[in-house]
Amino acid sequence: MSISWIVIIAAALFFLQFQFFARWGFRGLRIERNFDTTHCHVGDDILMIETIVNRKLAPIPWLRLESTIHAGLHFTQMNNLEVSSGSLFQNHRSLFSLMPYTRIVRRHGVHAAKRGWYKLETIAATMGDFVGLQAASTTHRIHVELLVYPRLVNRDDIPLLSSRWQGDVTVQRWIMPDPFLVSGAREYRYGDTMNSIHWKATARSQRLQVYNREFTADPRLLIVVNSQVTETMWDAVTDPELVEKALSYAATLAEHAVSRGVPVGFGYNGWLLNEPGIPVYCAPEGGWGQLEHLFQTMAKLAISCARSCEDFLDYGIEVEGEALDIILLTAFVSEGMARSIERLEAAGHSVFLVPLQHNLLDLGDKEAAPSDAQALA
């Protein structure tokens, strides 16, 4: 056989195999990518799992998968993986080679470095032929979500202040309920603990009854995060890390309250990522389902400001008819906010601060001194 025929046959084989992969390369190929959990907290390590299945007789010489993932998720394992990072997003690339009827599963370690609502929606897939040339490419759509909740901290590290608006009794009202102040019985409500059931009253009424605690032992807690870093700030948040610290404190306080059987709610004068411009308010409820709802809400928050804290306190919270213990996490207290707090207290609510900056911490200590002196007197 002459060299010319060899060249012709080789060219024909090259053309046929190229056309095969170009037309039918992705047929029978299944691509999946997901996380081993749907939610975690900042600082947790999770897994991103890639699954590639070749369901045809022909092998796949090489397959490259590329996707864009938020930089808040850091990859800790780099085997068969290439990651190029930017300020907000990073490109994730992985390379595969599959024999006929083969299934490959790869697990990549991921460190959740930042709170957020992460979505994986598309994967760019590129396939090559036996020669190494790119033969076909497509965009594979997926629907994967990961919620990263705020970091939980030690509760003792949260600077919970008594200020001129309230004393130590208010703080103890929800942190350390008094089991001895009982005034009769009431019907069971969702979130009541088992040790609060009044068995004699239940037997008499044939309906589940619990001890009715005095207000000092039966609070309803509302945690409010002020996204304004300064009084003059509007719309664009100038110190996002300060707001992230507030959300971390809020998540820790919410978990502690629910673990003590206290109904807890959440307020934020910014907005959710999928509801721009609308301040966030979750009414106080009890139970672990409520805590999960609050964590999910906090994960989806945008670092934003939809309304001043003063307006939020005036119009967003006073919809509650019953008295609340309100924890306000804020970097400052303006004169307008002070007036709003006084109006809330006049309506029967109790308000106290978690300062986010040292200057507010010093102010709280100075204001707390007269109250302590009056209490001693």
Which stretches does DSSP call E strand in 173-242? 182-187, 209-213, 221-225
pLDDT, tens digit, 9 for 90 and up, residues 300-325: 999 999 999 999 998 766 666 678 88
DSSP assignment of 237-262 equals -S-HHHHHHHHHHHHHHHHHHHHTT-
Token digits of residue 89? 């997003």
Residue spans in the chain of domains classed CATH 2.60.40.1510: 3-18+25-149
Cα–Cα dist 170/351, whole Å: 9
Predicted pLDDT of residue 212:
65
Q: Please, which residues have CB within 8 angstroms of residue 368's CB and are 6 or more apart in sequence?
A: 161, 162, 163, 164
String of b and e for 154-163 (b: at least 16 CB within 10 Å)? eeeebebbbb
Query: Is residue 216 within 8 Å of 173, Cβ to Cβ?
Result: yes
Tens of each residue's pLDDT in the chain, 377 residues: 678 878 888 888 888 888 988 899 899 999 999 999 999 999 999 999 999 999 999 999 999 999 888 889 988 866 555 665 555 778 888 889 999 999 999 998 999 999 999 999 899 999 998 888 888 999 989 999 999 999 999 988 888 764 433 333 334 444 444 444 455 677 777 667 777 788 877 887 888 887 765 544 457 899 999 999 888 877 778 889 999 999 999 999 999 999 988 899 999 999 999 999 999 999 999 999 999 999 999 999 999 999 999 999 987 666 666 788 899 999 999 999 999 998 888 888 888 899 988 666 554 443 433 333 232 23
Q: Topology of domain 155-177+219-376, per CATH?
A: Rossmann fold (3.40.50)
Q: What is the pTM of this model?
A: 0.77
Cα–Cα dist 63/15, whole Å: 19
Predicted pLDDT of residue 203:
82
Residue spans in the chain of domains classed CATH 3.40.50: 155-177+219-376
User: In CATH, what class is 3-18+25-149?
Assistant: mainly beta
